Amino acid sequence: MTVVVFMERADDELSQQALTLARSLGGEVSAATVEGPYAPGAWAAAIVAAAGDADIVGPGSDRGNEVMAHVAAQLDLPLAANVTEVRGDELTRIRWGGTLLEEARLHAGRRLMTAAPFAFPLSVDSTQTLVLTPELGGAVAVVDHVAPDTGGKVSLADAKVVVSGGRGVGSAEGFAILEELAALLDAAVGCSRVVTSAGWRPHTDQVGQTGTKVSPDLYIACGISGATQHIAGCKGAKKLLAINADREATIFAHADYAVVGDLHEIVPAITAELRKAK
Ligand SMILES: Cc1cc2nc3c(=O)[nH]c(=O)nc-3n(C[C@H](O)[C@H](O)[C@H](O)COP(=O)(O)OP(=O)(O)OC[C@H]3O[C@@H](n4cnc5c(N)ncnc54)[C@H](O)[C@@H]3O)c2cc1C
């Protein structure tokens, strides 16, 4: 049995986690990346052609899940997304934004799956990676490249530290103290959905199930209650510092460090201490 792993890039963390999942299946594993403009249907066709009758595994990223959904549609086979464990044709996978672990069985001759983010360690050793060039067939053409405007600041997805605010911040203006702390830490500012729904911050700043999924070294959650849909976006953080006025807040169950108090006092106090230390 052989397994082909679709990797977004050889150094991409979620792709390396997919490689670890593929290796846990047993058998020979080969890795493939796809070059050229993003066209999920065409990328899937290139992967299907290269894979022959092998099992196919992809990363649990937005692109990984989208390309693998096209792979499954083209092969008319079921896809198990966000898998955390495989036992033969039985598996466990994450559903509903992390609220449910589903035990499932794949009723197919081949296994198509994506690895749940951060459910597997990285495979960092060098695996020979095949580079596939898809046939775009004129359906897709790159007309322009527009880099996201981060105003010269580190982006949410790449930041090593994220300072995130929820309803507890109180207003759009209230984010000034989070911005100030973030600037000192070279951090990005994130927020909860309540904040984007209120129009205090743009949707691009939202962390969560329907926002960006972040995996910084440190996630500082200020005035965020810790709803499952928010945690789905920040559970990849190595450490979580929660600042909340309510000592019963759910966020504390996910926190490595906890401060019970008013964020309007705590955040400026942290900023002042950091300034002194610099
Ligand atoms: C399908 C679906 C998808 C969703 N996707 C997302 C998503 O992607 N991201 C997301 O964030 N949410 C998402 N949500 C919404 C989610 O369920 C919660 O409603 C939301 O995360 C709550 O935001 P919050 O923590 O800012 O607000 P709240 O739940 O209202 O919590 C505010 C917190 O602030 C604390 N607080 C108040 N004042 C202070 C103060 N002065 N100092 C310190 N703490 C204070 C309170 O104690 C409280 O814990 C989704 C919901 C659904 C149904």
How do residues 165-219 score in pLDDT, each as one tens digit? 999 999 999 999 999 999 999 999 999 999 999 999 998 999 998 889 899 999 9
Tell whether 128 and 165 lie within a shared domain: no
Residue whose Cα lies nearest atom 51 of ligand 1: it is 229
Q: Which of 132, 149, 182 is the endpoint of a domain?
A: 132
The response to whether residue 40 sits with its C-beta less than 6 Å from ligand 1 reads no
The reply to whether ligand 1 has any atom less than 6 angstroms from the CB of 196 is no
Answer yes or no: is the C-beta of 229 below 6 A from any ligand 1 atom: yes
Is the same domain home to 191 and 108? no
- Which residue has its alpha carbon closest to ligand 1 atom 35? 223
Total of domains in the chain: 2
| Alpha carbon nearest to ligand 1 atom 50, residue | 229
Confidence of residue 273 (pLDDT cuts 50, 70, 90): very high
Three-class secondary structure of residue 234 per DSSP: helix
Sign of CA dihedral 8, 14, 18, 19: positive
Domain that holds residue 30: 2-132
| 135 pLDDT more than 90 | no
**Phi, psi at 95, each rounded to 5°:** -130, 170
174 and 128 belong to one structural domain:
no
What CATH number does residue 214 fall under?
3.40.50.1220
DSSP single-letter state for residue 231: H
Nearest CA to ligand 1 atom 49: 225
Task: Decide if 86 contacts 25 (C-beta within 8 A).
Answer: yes
Query: Which pLDDT belongs to residue 126?
Result: 62
> Do 63 and 185 belong together in one domain?
no
Instruction: Say how many Å lie between the CA of residue 261 and the centre of ligand 1.
Output: 17
Task: Tell me the C-alpha distance between 72 and 66, whole Å.
Answer: 10
The CATH number linked to 10 is 3.40.50.620
The verdict on the CB of residue 110 being under 6 Å from ligand 1 is no
Taking the model in full, what pTM does it have? 0.68
Domain assignment of residue 98, yes or no:
yes
Q: Do 84 and 171 sit in the same domain of this protein?
A: no
